Structure 1
Amino acid sequence: MTLEGAHPLDPPADPFEVAARAAADIARLTGVERHDVAVTLGSGWGKAAELIGETIASVPATEVTGFSRPALEGHVGTLRSVRTPAGAHVLVIGARTHYYEGHGVRRVVHSVRTAAAAGAEVMVLTNGAGGIRDTWRAGQPVLISDHINLTADSPLEGATFVDLTDLYSRRLRDVALSVDASLDSGVYCQFRGPHYETPAEVRMARAIGGDIVGMSTALEAIAAREAGMEVLGFSLITNLAAGISPDPLSHAEVIEAGRAAEGRISALLAEVVGRL
């Protein structure tokens, strides 16, 4: 029994057992017993769900154990089972819980753990983010080659030691480059948010090796590696970061950049997923 007002992932619950229950819910609600690939759609990437293949079922995330309604505009709040032309089953996650919502890391990474429990061996994580390189432009998709976790938190609990040396799979990035050889890559820095970074923080991120700044993905990628999944990461550069851009930052700008690039980057993502 869950106490009134409590969440299924609250301690002392086992987050992996909750993920297994969520995966069973997805199998029951979609009629698809096992998914091969999972894709989390961040800001600007939403149309990819329609392009990857045939939608078998679409389920409100709130009907699946442990999932909450997304708090952010640009995230659709559904889980979709899609069959590619090659016959692979893709779990498309349009329900992301961000770290800054204050619900704890378990809820942030629940979708990833659920995808692993549903059978997915590949996790594709996408986001909208700020670019540090002044050669990048709004609307440009970039591969994530590595990350710097600036949240001071981790999804790993207890004495759990996981090697992150090659977290963002070279093999999967090569697949993406076989679709579009012009794709650039960079190191993603996850800040806690929800405020945008200051110009000084962006300079710090660049000084320590970062190229992209955002508020998601790194914690999810760590959880995916813990679960034994291969990880592919994409950032849509929605704006140049504070101090790089001469203009003030706004969420409306992020949404608009995502909408402008949505068709092109979603077609790219769909083709990449089709080759995984």
Structure 2
Amino acid sequence: MHKAEEIVEAKNYIFSKTNVVPEIGIILGSGLGGLADEIEDGVVIPYGDIPFFSKSDAVGHANELVIGNLEGKTVVAMKGRYHFYEGYSLDEVTFPVRVMKALGIDKLIITNACGAVNTDFNPGELMLLTDHLNLVGINPLIGKNNDDLGTRFPDVSEVYNREMRKTALQVARENDITLREGVYGWWSGPVYETPAEIRMIRTLGADAIGMSTVPEAIVAIHAGLKVLGISCLTNMACGILDEPLSHKEVIEVAAKSRNTFVHLIKNILKSI
């Protein structure tokens, strides 16, 4: 469990660089960091400068925290995230969520690039997370609970906030954006799934599969935040099409979806 004094030290360092108190946090996944470039009067803080932050070596993650204004809201955006598959503990992976909560946010938008398991979906489309499957078998809240950070046994019957999901769907309709709805499965990585594993994952009920998001969402719920999750479907999962998968493809498709993604998130921000 995260140490309160480490959270405070990271928060104090960030507030030494800006006096903006953010109301909404945004975690930007592979190739989706471009949204942070839209933040007005943005203060950019490298992860390496923030006490107890880690950084990702994955392509498409800039390792920067950006704080400023976007569509009339004060926001703090993680331009890239670090992952369990990079060898970080789930405490390390989710530490920024605790810090963003300490900075003042009450809502968190989590994004990712992932593979489509549902064969009705198409690469380049966006998916609104309705729920998730933790397929890794480990939970970021394992260990001694800090009651000041959240309850020992959080309710996760509605991880992804119903009202914010309604808003996102309405915004998508108004802007003629295809926004699928589905269950996201968390896979540890770094290897992609085998065709047999994808068949299993589909049977279990996931519509998309990726290597992030679920740990952050669980900790956000523990912290009392309202969570919205949006995936960029960058490829069909292994075995659906007869072609190999690559992270290069993930980044390329995410880049092609950038304008739609940015437009959707900016209009959601206006409405929440």
Q: What's the TM-score once normalised by structure 1's chain length? A: 0.90
Equivalence for 2:93: 108
In the alignment, structure 1 residue 269 sits paired with structure 2 residue 265? yes
1:62-92 deviations in Å (ceiling 9; x for gaps): 1111112221111111100121342x21001
Q: Alignment partner for residue 35 of structure 2, among 40, 44, 48?
A: 48
The answer (yes or no) to whether the contact 1:123–1:230 under 8 Å persists in 2 is yes
In the superposition, relative to structure 1, how do residues 95 and 64 fare at CA in structure 2: closer, same or farther (>3 Å)?
Answer: farther
In the alignment, structure 1 residue 164 sits paired with structure 2 residue 125? no
**Correspondence list, 1:226-241, <5 A:** 226-241=222-237
- For residues 118 and 257 of structure 2, what CA distance do their matches in structure 1 show? 19
Q: 5+ unaligned residues in a row in structure 1: which ranges?
A: 1-12
1:210-257 deviations in Å (ceiling 9; x for gaps): 111000000110000000000000000000001112211111111111
Equivalence for 1:82: 68
In the alignment, structure 1 residue 173 sits paired with structure 2 residue 173? no
Equivalence for 2:48: 62
1:15-38 deviations in Å (ceiling 9; x for gaps): 333122212211111232x21000
In the superposition, relative to structure 1, how do residues 155 and 16 fare at CA in structure 2: closer, same or farther (>3 Å)?
Answer: farther
**Correspondence list, 1:238-257, <5 A:** 238-257=234-253
Q: Alignment partner for residue 25 of structure 2, among 38, 49, 61?
A: 38
Q: Give the C-alpha shift of residue 142 in structure 1.
A: 0.6
SS in 2 for 1:29: coil
Equivalence for 2:149: none
1:190-214 deviations in Å (ceiling 9; x for gaps): 0111000111111111111111100
The answer (yes or no) to whether the contact 2:71–2:269 under 8 Å persists in 1 is no
In the alignment, structure 1 residue 135 sits paired with structure 2 residue 120? yes
Equivalence for 1:120: 105
SS in 1 for 2:13: helix
**Which is further off, 207-216 or 155-164?**
155-164
Equivalence for 1:151: 136
The answer (yes or no) to whether the contact 1:44–1:236 under 8 Å persists in 2 is no
CA-atom RMSD in angstroms: 1.5
SS in 2 for 1:30: coil
Identity of aligned residues (%): 36
Q: Give the C-alpha shift of residue 258 in structure 1.
A: 1.0
Alignment: residue pair count:
261
1:111-145 deviations in Å (ceiling 9; x for gaps): 11111111110011000000011221111111011
Equivalence for 1:188: 184
